[in-house]
Structure 1
Amino acid sequence: MLTSPAIKNSGFFGTSKNSFFGQAPAVESLAPPALPAASSSSDPPTDFSSQASTPEVSSQKNTGPERMVVFVLAGLLLIALALAGYEPAVVKTSAPSPVVVEVEETVELVTPIVAEPEVSEESESAAPVLNEEPPAPTTLHAALLAEDIPTLERLLASGSPLEIRDAQHRTPLMRAVQLGDAEAVERLLAQGADPDANDPFGDTALTWAVVQRRLDLVDLLLAQGADPDKGHLTPLMWAALQNELPMLERLLAAQPTINLRTREGWTVMHWAAEKGATEVMWRLLRSGAVVNAQNQAGRTALMLAARRGHLTTVRLLLERGALRDVEDFDGQTALDWAEASGRSEITELLLR
């Protein structure tokens, strides 16, 4: 059989004899294919077996595992070579990434805005505002609330109205008494403030002075002719209600009407009995207070003292002529009130 001349297989892997993978594997059973005879030559066919170069057979045979390792290493090497020579299209692009450009532009715009304000200028302009004193009061009430006597004197000298009312319909004099500002009260009275001006409840500056338990203010107001009988509850009633004997003495010196009544018919004796103010009651009785006066419900001072359990006050009233059998408009006597209230000692006293 004719053998084919030696064919050099050249390519990416080199020749078959000395290829990328090493020596070619041995070929034992396969013979090179026969080539047809050349038609253009008249010479008889020649045996080329002696001239043809057959592949050299390696004396060492590659085993299966070794061949697999060679293939894996070769594949990894090819991948490394391919990656080393690969150039992404993004890298070749000359235009910058839109996202990166937007961030850089934003930073450039924000940075000057933050750096623009000057702290020193703002501090200098704000400092006078923070340290600025509040404006001076423009009304008598505001000056009193601010305890600003110089401003009060300036307003009085400028002719500010003395009887102006605030939101509670109280005059500056009433407000000064409520605040307990004796200096302001004295200045307002000296300027001619009315001591008998009353609020919607009928209370006057003298009433507020008694409620505040301020004898000094009571003296100032009485010295300026304050009326001790004005008010829904008169100043005398307030003194009895608070069991203030010194205050009562000061008011009695102004010769008030002792037996005045409230709209509910209560007298100063009712208030003293309600609170058990025995000493105050004794002073009122000496000053001419009516012992058996009845209010609009028909109740006397004895009934109120018996209901409240004021034993000493009941004794004083009985000694000063209080009637035990007087009934109120519900038909109840002082004894009935004492029994209903569980006042056993007073009940025994009234039964004697």
Structure 2
Amino acid sequence: MKYTRLLLATIVLLLTSPLYAGDKQDEKDLRLAASIGDVETISALLDRGIPVDTANKFGKTALMMAVENDNFESVVVLLNRGADVNARTVAGCSALTFAAENGHPALTAMLLERGANLHDRTRAGWDSLMIASRYGITDMVEQLLFKGADPKASDKHGHNALMMAAEKGHADTAAMLLKHGAEIESRDKNGSTALILAADSGNNSAVTVLIDHYANLDAKDNDGATALIWAVGQDRLEAARLLLEAGADVNLADTDGITSLMEAARKGSQPMVKLLLQHGANKMNKDNEGHTALDIAEKKKHVEVAGLLK
């Protein structure tokens, strides 16, 4: 019994010593200190033996939180104390992907110098270049490309950095990616190109950049739809105008035989119908079921549009 009490006392002493101190609250305090840039508290907690890479239930570490909140000095301290620069969250995010998402070029440079993996992917398949492109952080995109990021890499849906920039309307970012070798005619798993995605979203500045870089105006996705058909289907009048003025074929049809004029008739858009007719849309074309644009307009009870098509 005497020896048992002595053993228990020794264990208690060890667990309460600075070397072993580190309950859950202390770990939370470390991450909080990193979030708010409290370098003094970070150092004190680490001196007490709190693991530098302790993470919350989502796998987010103090380093990630410091990066996310642009606390440069905290990042320096944590890295100097051995923080794992390539630690990953449950969703596969790293300190570098957080830096890319939040637009912190200086931190990105430091993380790369300390060995951050440029090609790490999140669970969605996004690398830091895709993330920076998606958010239109052009200076960071340039930095990552200079360091060797691959502009041709794609996520699990086949989307690459150029497609993400184009879809979100980040024209300058798209231009930067094209300058550094992004493939303008690459396709996602639906067969969509960057131009199709930009036109569908109505991001006219991105549409213009892609046209200026000689994107194929009449490329079709897996359903046979072109950028023009998508623009018309979403009632993107200016995007449709840009495509038509650049020479897009107004009479191409998708796999169901639907043309851009038929899409405009379905939507009931008089301005779009007028635009398409001005650029030579054929009112007599029929879809696979034998319907003309006029038939579609009349079925939808778009009286004014039907009048334009008679």
TM-score by length of 1: 0.59
Partner of 1:298: 257
Structure 2: which amino acid aligns with 1:166?
A: T
Change (3 A) 1:165 1:334: same
Q: Does 1:337 align with 2:296?
A: yes
- Kept in 2, the 8 Å contact 1:305–1:313? The answer is yes
Q: Does 1:227 align with 2:183?
A: yes
- Kept in 2, the 8 Å contact 1:303–1:333? The answer is yes
Q: How does 1:170-181 map to 2 (within 5 A)?
A: 170-181=126-137
Change (3 A) 1:180 1:290: closer
Partner of 1:240: 199
Q: Does 1:314 align with 2:273?
A: yes
Gaps of 5+ in 1: 1-120
**In 2, Cα distance between the equivalents of 1:212 and 1:246?**
10
Larger radius of gyration: 1
Partner of 2:113: 157
**In 1, Cα distance between the equivalents of 2:248 and 2:270?**
20
**In 1, Cα distance between the equivalents of 2:137 and 2:121?**
18
Shift, 1:150, TM fit: 4.9
Structure 1: which amino acid aligns with 2:225?
A: W
Change (3 A) 1:330 1:227: same
Shift, 1:176, TM fit: 2.4
1:142 to 95, 120, 130: 95
Gaps of 5+ in 2: 1-16, 31-40, 43-61, 64-82, 87-92
**In 2, Cα distance between the equivalents of 1:348 and 1:217?**
43
User: Which structure's residues are more often helix, by fraction?
Assistant: 2
Shift, 1:179, TM fit: 4.3
Corresponding pairs, count: 233
- Kept in 2, the 8 Å contact 1:259–1:268? The answer is yes
Deviations along 1:124-168, whole A, 9 cap, x unmatched? x67976355424462283233155655532442355443332211
Secondary structure in 1 matching 2:228: helix
**In 1, Cα distance between the equivalents of 2:107 and 2:193?**
33
Percent identity between the two aligned chains: 31
- Kept in 1, the 8 Å contact 2:165–2:174? The answer is yes
**In 2, Cα distance between the equivalents of 1:151 and 1:278?**
41
Aligned-CA RMSD value: 2.9
- Kept in 1, the 8 Å contact 2:96–2:128? The answer is no
Partner of 1:204: 160
Structure 2: which amino acid aligns with 1:138?
A: V
Q: Does 1:263 align with 2:205?
A: no
- Kept in 2, the 8 Å contact 1:201–1:231? The answer is no
Secondary structure in 2 matching 1:332: coil
Structure 2: which amino acid aligns with 1:164?
A: D
Partner of 1:47: none
Q: How does 1:122-133 map to 2 (within 5 A)?
A: 130-131=29-30, 133=42
1:323 to 282, 290, 301: 282
Shift, 1:173, TM fit: 0.9
